[in-house]
Amino acid sequence: MNTLNKHEHGPPSDQNDNPNQITPIRVYVVFRNPEQAELFEKLLRRLTRADLHALLFPETDVNALLAAVGCVRGPLKQLRKMPNSTQER
């Protein structure tokens, strides 16, 4: 495991002490343009429990999926606030 992975996932002792502990991970998404990022953010904002049920996700996964969606909303909102000079030209 390289240093970057150790930093992102915490020390190995933290992972082994509590198997129920949440280990944060980073996911990177590359959009072709700002409009795609905005549409994706709208999709995440409108996604509901009923939508997940309609997509045949089991009830045991629905809460976890909604929590994951919530974790993505904030960073996307921050990304849209970035000045145009840092976005893809």
Tens digit of each residue's pLDDT (9 = 90 or more) over 7-30? 444 444 444 566 677 777 787 888
Are 87 and 41 within 8 A, CB to CB?
A: no
Mean model confidence pLDDT for the chain: 75
Residue where the block lists tokens 């590359």: 30
Give the domain range for residue 9: 3-86
pLDDT reported for residue 4: 45
Q: How far apart are alpha carbons 68 and 3 in whole angstroms?
A: 26
Q: How far is CA 84 from CA 27, 55, 81, in A?
A: 22, 36, 9
C-alpha distance from residue 79 to each of 54, 62, 69, 71 (Å): 30, 26, 16, 14
Which of 40, 39, 32 shows the shortest CA–CA distance to 88? 32
pTM higher than the cut 0.85? no
Q: How many domains does the chain have?
A: 1
Percent of the chain scoring above 90 in pLDDT: 22
